[in-house]
Amino acid sequence: MHFPVDFVFTGKSRFSENSSLTTELDQKSLELRELKAQKMVLCRERDELLALLDVKERGRYLRSRSISEDEAYSEYSSTELAVLGACKCRVTSPEPCGCAHAAAALRRELCKLKEQYEAQLRRRDEAAQTVDAYRAAFEEQLYRNKQLMLQLAEIAVAGPSKYEKAKVILKNLIHLLNDDDYLCEITNQRQNIFSINGNSKPGKPEVDSQSEPVMSDRDLVMALTEILHQRNEAFAHKKLAAQVLSDRVKELETELSHYQTSEEETFS
């Protein structure tokens, strides 16, 4: 296979250029290593000289030394150093101008805001998972309560021996629920029956074998079960809403403290 003459010439020129650049890179790397070694020697000598100075002379040196040393930029990241190095308006001055420092500060603030945004996203996902876990637990608890009330209703009508136990349980449930409207309605219905039967004392009614009761035992148990189930659902929703509001309040308090800290740093 034969290649054109121009292609061969271009390839040779690129190869020679790459070779020269590689050689130059090796030389620069060697110079950089030598400079680093010299810097370490000079830093060691500086530390030895500072150790020989007294407190006043050392303080005078620290106040008069140049701010262009590497220690002045030790807190800057690589991105901020790149922003400072891209300054074109310093001309012959070794120090970056004020706009470069402002741009570096903005870059640092942008990185902080980005980290805070990612942290907020993680917290939001964690809060959503927590809400889902609470919701699943509440639904499971409500289902268990409903099944328990249904079993109680079956016990109430199962037989004469369990009827008295069911009455005691129902009495305790009525006391715990404290549903005044429902109890008043039942009391009014019973008083109407007593007045129809001609009883002056509601505590000792006369039982009419042909009159039907206002509400059977099973209906009473089912009504109380439904009331308890509704109240459990309302309590579950309120607890879930309180948890969500608590998480939101914590987020707002964190943001407020961050803003207050930023304002203090700005005005200071």
Rounded to an integer, what is the distance from CA 258 to the centroid of its chain?
A: 15
Q: What is the CA radius of gyration of the chain?
A: 43
pLDDT of residue 192: 59
- Where does 158-216 have alpha helices with state H? 160-177, 180-197
Give the pLDDT band (50/70/90) at residue 125.
confident
pLDDT of residue 265: 66
pLDDT of residue 238: 80
Beta strands in the chain (DSSP E): none
pLDDT of residue 91: 64
- The domain locations on the chain are 1-65, 128-267
Residues above pLDDT 90, as percent of the chain: 0
Mean pLDDT of 105-120: 85
pLDDT, tens only, 19-40 = 888 888 888 888 888 888 898 8
Residue 69: CB atoms within 10 A of its CB come to 9
Give ∠ CA 30-35-40 in degrees, rounded to 5. 130
pLDDT at 164 over 50: yes
Burial 17-29 (b: 16+ CB within 10 A, else e): eeeeeeeeeeeee
Give the pLDDT band (50/70/90) at residue 55.
confident
pLDDT of residue 200: 44
pLDDT of residue 124: 84
pLDDT of residue 161: 45
pLDDT of residue 207: 42
pLDDT, tens only, 182-226 = 555 555 655 555 555 554 444 444 444 344 444 566 666 776 777
Task: Indicate the Cα dihedral angle 149, 151, 155, 157, nearest 10°.
Answer: 80
pLDDT, greater one: 213 or 167: 167
72: DSSP letter? G
